[in-house]
Amino acid sequence: MEAQMKRGFLEACVLAAISGEESYGYQIVKDVPASMGLTESTLYPLLKRLEKAGCITARSAEHNGRLRRYYRITDDGRARIEEFLAEWPSVREIYTYVEGAHHDAR
């Protein structure tokens, strides 16, 4: 997948993963579709970026005698998901065009 596009998809996936209840790093990695190939080393900078942009908030809470960081989506984060979803019609249009042209050519 092209890098920029993947970045956008990953961002939307991570926001979606915490859009319900708050979640933590490993849970997000497990929740996001495996085809995205999300790992901790991709997730960490992404979470930092989203937090800086005000799309998510983070808090530390105790779990089994250690601290775990929980992430929660903000209204700005939800707005970003909506922005992402609003892209779909144009993405589908491009997809249909490419598919059609490819089939016609064969």
Partner 1 sequence: MTRDEFLGRLGELLACLPAEQVEETKAFYAEAIADRMEDGMSEEEAVAAMGTPGEVAEATLDDLPAVPRAIAKTRRRSTALLWVLTIVGSPVWVPLLLAFAAVAVTVYVCIWVLALCVWVIAATLGAVGAASLALVAAGVAVGHVPYVIVMLGCGLAFIGVALLVGAGAWEASKRIARLSALWAGKAASPFWKGKGEKGGAAAHLAA
Contact 27, 60 (CB under 8 A): no
For partner 1, the closer CB: 82 or 104: 82
Q: Is 94 a residue that touches partner 1 (CB under 8 A)?
A: no
Contact 13, 77 (CB under 8 A): no
Q: Is 34 a residue that touches partner 1 (CB under 8 A)?
A: no
- Beta strands 56-63 and 23-24 are unpaired
Which residues of the shown chain bind partner 1 in the complex (CB under 8 A)? 4-5, 7-9, 11-12, 15, 24-27, 29, 39-42, 44-45, 48-49, 52-55, 64, 66-69, 80-81, 83-84, 86-87, 91
